[in-house]
Amino acid sequence: MKLTNLVVGPIQTNCYIVEDAGETIVIDPGDEADKILEVLDGRPVKEIVLTHCHFDHVSALSALEEATGAPAAMSAVDAPRVDGQSVDGGHDIARGHGAPHIDRLLHEGDEVSVGECTFSVIETPGHTPGSICLYCASEGVLFAGDTLFAHGGYGRTDFEDGSFHDIVASMRDKLSGLPGDTIVFSGHGPRSTMRYEKHVNEYLHAN
Ligand SMILES: [Zn+2]
């Protein structure tokens, strides 16, 4: 698996381009579509996956859909805030393109595959009701979106529809059991490992 991490937009969102065995997916095209397309360099995109609905994770989706023709996938819970919507929370998420379209609605246990790598969808509500993480056991990789951040951090829950109770339950019940050597790639900031986060994040102490 080859991973390219682009930092895009005003809130320094991590957009990930994941390639394996000739296939490519894009996770969280938050902004700066031109920069993402430059890295893709004309390679076909199998799927665009969104960890949640916030504007800083989806604002290059319309442009990427138009440029690549790739289908988009996200949680069924968050999808209504993106699918067919040009504005979310006062933010222009279409950026002069047509409204984005969500082609596949994801649920707990669904799979996102790229080449030989298969990611399982883990529903981790809290930051938004439809926040998801993507976990690939064979590669030991977790894309955590804005649920989990490096150095003991976790997503804000003071936005509309956020829930501190839910994000704590998501970390404790859904993430704390992942192997220590899992590499955590978050929606913002540096990467980490589950082993380190279990030491510093009190909500991951369950296991
Ligand atoms: Zn967010």
Residue-level pLDDT at 153: 97
Give the pLDDT score at 44: 98
Domains of the chain: 2-204 (3.60.15.10)
Q: Looking at residues 45-74, what average pLDDT do you find? A: 98
**Residue count of the chain:** 207
Ligand 1 mean position, distance from CA 25 (Å): 20
For position 205, what pLDDT does the model report? 83
pTM of the predicted structure, to 2 decimals: 0.97
pLDDT of residue 105 exceeding 70: yes
CA of 144 to the centre of ligand 1 (A): 11
Q: How far is the CA of 159 from the centre of ligand 1 (A)?
A: 9
Tens-digit pLDDT profile for residues 113-170: 999 999 999 999 999 999 999 999 999 999 999 999 999 999 999 998 999 999 999 9
Rounded to the nearest angstrom, the distance between the alpha carbon of 148 and the centre of ligand 1 is 11
Task: Band the pLDDT of 36: cuts 50, 70, 90.
Answer: very high
User: In angstroms, what is the span from residue 145 Cα to ligand 1's centroid?
Assistant: 8
Q: Output the CA 56–ligand 1 centroid distance in Å.
A: 7
